[in-house]
A and B are shown apart, each in its own frame.
Chain A
Amino acid sequence: MSGDIPSEKASLDGPAVPDGGPALRPNPLAHLPIPFQVVDYAERGVHLDASVAPDQVVAVAGELDKSGFAIDTITGVDWLAEGQMEVVYDFFHPTQRLRVAVRTRVPREHPEVPTISTVFPGANWHERETHDFFGIRFAGHPDLTPFLLPEDATYHPLRKDFNP
């Protein structure tokens, strides 16, 4: 497991700083083709946050995989008023003090993003769960049958227009 992150500040061997320390400046992942914004960890709980186009998520996950990141979780947010679904990908680094989030938005009528389970096998269950709860389809996913919901479930309970 090796990450080529040129930042001594982020190393886990350094002294522990409360609240993850100050915002990492400059962006330690600036060498990657990912549009990361540096955010204040103490305020937000992540160091870097990026919004990308839906067709970019596999390439972004591939870059983070090469940099030694681990898959943290994947989830959705239903922005009903804006007619959009957001998919949020979280990653953590096992040996560096670095937390990143990547997000993308898809139209609500056609919520589909490519799967990243080809890059991180751990994404498989998180994507299945996101499909359960939001009805977001992950193109290329090996098995989008209900994961936590009953096997005959046809509803998506975390959609904001869901009425039980």
Chain B
Amino acid sequence: MVKEAPSSRAAGRETFVLNLGPQHPATHGVLRVRLTMDGEYLVEAEPVCGYIHRMQEKMGENRTYAQFLPNTSRIDYLSAMMYTHAFVGVVERAARIQVPPRAEYIRVITSELNRISSHLVWWGAFLLDLGGFTPLLYAFDDRERILDLLEGLTGARLTYCYYRFGGVCNDVDESFLRGTRAFVTHMRPRLKMYRDLVTGNIIFQKRLKGIGPISAEMCRRYGATGPVIRGAGVAYDVRRAEPYSAYPDFDFEIPTYPECDSLARYMVRMAELEQSLRIIEQALDRFPDGPVMAEKVPRVLKLPAGDFCYAVEAARGRFLVRLVSDGKDGAYRLKLRTPSLSNLSLFGEASQGMLLPDALAMMGSLDLVIPDIDR
């Protein structure tokens, strides 16, 4: 439960400043939070960003579209497929390229595999934050199977550059399809084991229940999306709100939990693992034949002048690319709106009056990727 900070009752009481980071292990990257503490309670928390800022948006302006494509998997390196999807999506929208159905299905399968592997990293690391070491080993064991599958298909294990303007760079083979089906079969009992091992654990539940409430209204005012807004009971998912690719073909649920606490955000991601498996299974069942690249996509793309947006549901929430073109072979302006930045922006307000260890549990439940904030 959030307790009222003693400071709010006794103004003028002595406080001290505590620097969390820039390299605290619980922040998985180089994030710094300047905390004003009253004993163990947070009076004020101010995230200090930019330690690994790379000016990706400038790189988007001084490269051609194809040259910038590999950068998109290095923003949120755990959602590389989805981020590449948004960038090829906005270019395809501007150039009016029709992507063949088989390529769209491959994109959905690989994006959902990527979502599962991202959630598995979060699951392991989050429990590590809370003091449980073993779950990480289980998570990475299962994640390894996804990385092997995607490595066989794309040649990369993390920073995939597999999607192309108009499709994907090569067709899937029999071993990928067989392996993906085997993974779905393998993963379902593992999810049950995760529930038995961790989710049902009373110590774990007491650590998260009622901790770090983030209401739907707060999500709206800060633009928080993904499992954060769904853990506040709002079924907002870009795959439904702005349907793209082949997602309208599949039957899946948007898991929501109305409790608004850290446990709700945990439960949302656990349920999403199951939904991603469902989507992959349906895509494999109805996998269409045909080409995996659109015909006649020029090697050097020049987009018509204009202002174009494309949003995807990445593992952490809404990722939006805004591309302003002036008719040349590279973007005049490329804006990357990343979910981690918006999700972290509410931390200062949401963490007020919390105990420090509770605030860290809440930060873990936001699933931050720091290069996604700093870009």
Q: A: which residues have CB within 8 A of B? A: 1, 12, 15-20, 41-46, 65, 68-73, 75, 77-78, 88, 90, 92-95, 97, 99, 101, 120-122, 124-125, 133, 146-150, 157-158
Contact = CB atoms under 8 A, between A and B. Distances in A.
28 contacts: A1-B216, A1-B217, A16-B243, A18-B244, A18-B248, A42-B93, A45-B309, A45-B310, A70-B220, A71-B342, A73-B223, A73-B335, A73-B337, A75-B335, A88-B322, A88-B335, A90-B322, A92-B311, A94-B219, A94-B220, A95-B234, A95-B235, A97-B241, A97-B242, A99-B309, A125-B341, A157-B58, A158-B57
Interface residues of B, number: 50
B226 to A, nearest CB: 12
Given A71-B223, A77-B333, A157-B55, A45 B50 contact: no
Given A16-B247, A158-B58, A45 B93 contact: yes
Contacts of A94: 216, 219-220, 229, 234, 236
Given A1-B217, A121-B345, A158-B61, 9 more contacts: A12-B240, A16-B243, A18-B244, A20-B242, A41-B242, A70-B223, A71-B223, A133-B57, A157-B55
B107 interface: no
Contacts of A90: 309, 320, 322, 337
Contacts of B102: none
Which of B221, B223, B375 has the most CB atoms of chain A within a 10 A radius of its CB?
A: B223
B133 interface: no
Interface of B: 49-50, 53, 55, 57-58, 61, 90, 93, 96, 216-217, 219-224, 229, 234-236, 240-244, 247-248, 306-311, 318, 320, 322, 324, 332-333, 335, 337, 341-342, 345-346, 349, 374-375
Nearest to A122: B222
Contact of A122 (B96, B240, B324, B346): B346
Contacts of B311: 45, 92, 99
B244 to A, nearest CB: 7
A19 B244 contact: yes
B337 A72 contact: yes
Contact of B332 (A12, A19, A77, A148): A77
Given A44-B309, A99-B309, A16 B240 contact: yes
A133 B111 CA distance: 31
Nearest to B238: A92
B293 to A, nearest CB: 20
A78 B308 CA distance: 16
Contacts of B345: 121-122, 124-125
A12 B235 contact: yes
B308 A45 contact: yes
A43 B243 CA distance: 14
A104 B300 CA distance: 32
B320 A73 contact: yes
A142 to B, nearest CB: 11
Contacts of A15: 248
Contacts of B332: 77
Contacts of B222: 71, 120-122
B50 A72 contact: no
